[in-house]
A and B are shown apart, each in its own frame.
Chain A
Amino acid sequence: MELIFQQMPIVIGALNQGFLQTLKLFSITLLGAFPLGLIIAFGSLSKIKAISLTTQFIIWIIRGTPLMIQLLIVYYFPGLVLHTPIWGGGESGRFLAAAIAFIINYSCYFSEIYRGGIQSVPVGQQEAGLVLGMTKRQIFFHVTLLQMIKRIVPPISNEIITLVKDTALARIIALQEIIWAGQAFMKGSHGISGAIWPLFFTAFYYLIFNGIVTVALSWFEKKLEYFR
């Protein structure tokens, strides 16, 4: 026990650094997947059959395979199969590959939620906008969007909380996120080796982070309760 207290400052320092990487991956995934998901949703709702079917096929593939495999493919495929390593060897290359895999994966999940959200706004809202002389674009941004956001906040919240935990998968391509940092103390890191508790300790980071995310999301949900 005493040993743990001695190791604590070193471990926390390393875990913080790992957590920063986790946080970065989490944020960049949301930043990319929120808008990309919308574009994919429009694609799957397109009246042009070729576009909607292709989009739905891609969504089916991405949702039907594990994110872990997608990570491996995105990271290794260019180098091993195409013989053109595009990611470089360093941490920044791994981060970029992880970010791309996560953004693609999450935007497909988001797109299905968006699609449900768009379809759940009554068609009368669009028609009311049309007869008032609005453009389709004005109707989307000034009439439909907020109603859609209100409806999708609960299901998107679930995905966001899953994302917090999913970031750990990036360890498979050796991204130095928090679990990676915790596990390093088993083999040896910062002069500590054979310690397993740092790995367990990472759970607190997830718990606290998820706690904050949950509170923020339910605050947002409340904010939208002013209309029905």
Chain B
Amino acid sequence: MSILEVKNIRKTFGNIEVLKGINFSLEKGQVLSIIGSSGSGKTTLLRCLNFLETPDAGVIKVNDEILFDSADPATRSENQIRKKRLHFGLVFQSFNLFPQYTALENVMLAPKLAAKEKKIYDTEREIIKSQAIEIIEKVGLAERMNNYPHQLSGGQQQRVAIARALILNPDILCFDEPTSALDPELTGEVLKVIRGLSDSNNTMIIVTHEMEFARDVASHVIFMDGGGICEQGEPRELFENPKEERTKQFLTRYKTSSQTFPDFLDKN
């Protein structure tokens, strides 16, 4: 059974069709990388999965439960959506940390509010805090957990954002170009954390321009072009033997960076 099934997702803004029928599925523990040039619809796809956009058509299933079906209006109600989106987590390109809270408070806020809503915060308080600290340690920020976002580097902020998503235990964690807003010397620390997550069997969808990383970490790669899936497959196959002309062109543009792959070659 697939953990995620996406069927025929379509999305139009005005009269531009941004997603032209996206189909794919994902197994538990798999890492899917989505690559493709800017404007191809990658962000919109992740936003649809996280219910920040409502697809015009299509079905989204998690663990065989239908979360969204354009044919079934009942799946669109606000209250329903709130619960359903917790199957997914989303790490934004621009981090979007809450500036008035420390790193630790950022991570604790969502579980804290959820516990308050269920009136169990008094009993859960310590558990939530120790979980948050544990996760912050996992992303390597134990020393910085009482700092405010503006006191952290971009790489550290993005790691806090990852911790903030992780504490809710999403079935599928999505990343939208998690390193694109970072100075090159800071991408490594973030990629290392994501790599660690894949090693501990988290199911993830990673939109990225880091080809080397995609190739190394992903179990499956999708190349999107003009709102559709142009080609997909095993990373090795897709990167080394792309079938489609568009894929070849796209990868050629990243050739300079893809020449330095000693890591990857060693492993295979």
Are A132 and B150 neighbours in the complex by a CB distance under 8 Å?
no
Bits for B63-99, please: 1 = Cβ < 8 Å to A, else 0: 0000000000000000000110110111010101111
Bound-state CA distance A142–B92 (Å) is: 20
Contacting A at CB under 8 A, from B103-161, are: 109-110, 113-114, 148-150
Interface range for A: 20 to 34
Number of interface residues of B (CB under 8 A): 28
**A130 touches B (CB below 8 Å):** yes
Are B98 and A125 neighbours in the complex by a CB distance under 8 Å?
yes
Q: Knowing A132-B168, A143-B98, say if A227 contacts B148 (CB, 8 Å).
A: yes
Q: Knowing A146-B100, A147-B100, A227-B99, say if A133 contacts B86 (CB, 8 Å).
A: yes
**A134 touches B (CB below 8 Å):** yes
The interface of chain B, by Cβ under 8 A from chain A, is 50-52, 82-83, 85-86, 88-90, 92, 94, 96-101, 109-110, 113-114, 148-150, 164-165, 168
**A131 touches B (CB below 8 Å):** yes
Query: What's the nearest-Cβ distance from chain A to residue B228, in Å?
Result: 25
Residues from chain B with a CB closer than 8 A to the CB of A228 are 99, 148-150
Residues from chain B with a CB closer than 8 A to the CB of A143 are 98
Query: What's the nearest-Cβ distance from chain B to residue A213, in Å?
Result: 25
Residues from chain B with a CB closer than 8 A to the CB of A58 are none
Query: What's the nearest-Cβ distance from chain B to residue A221, in Å?
Result: 15
Are A124 and B164 neighbours in the complex by a CB distance under 8 Å?
no
Are B92 and A134 neighbours in the complex by a CB distance under 8 Å?
no
Query: What's the nearest-Cβ distance from chain B to residue A32, in Å?
Result: 27
Query: What's the nearest-Cβ distance from chain A to residue B109, in Å?
Result: 7
Bound-state CA distance A178–B83 (Å) is: 58
Residues from chain A with a CB closer than 8 A to the CB of B94 are 124
Bound-state CA distance A134–B111 (Å) is: 9
Residues from chain B with a CB closer than 8 A to the CB of A135 are 82
Query: Smallest CB-CB separation from B47: which chain A residue?
Result: A127
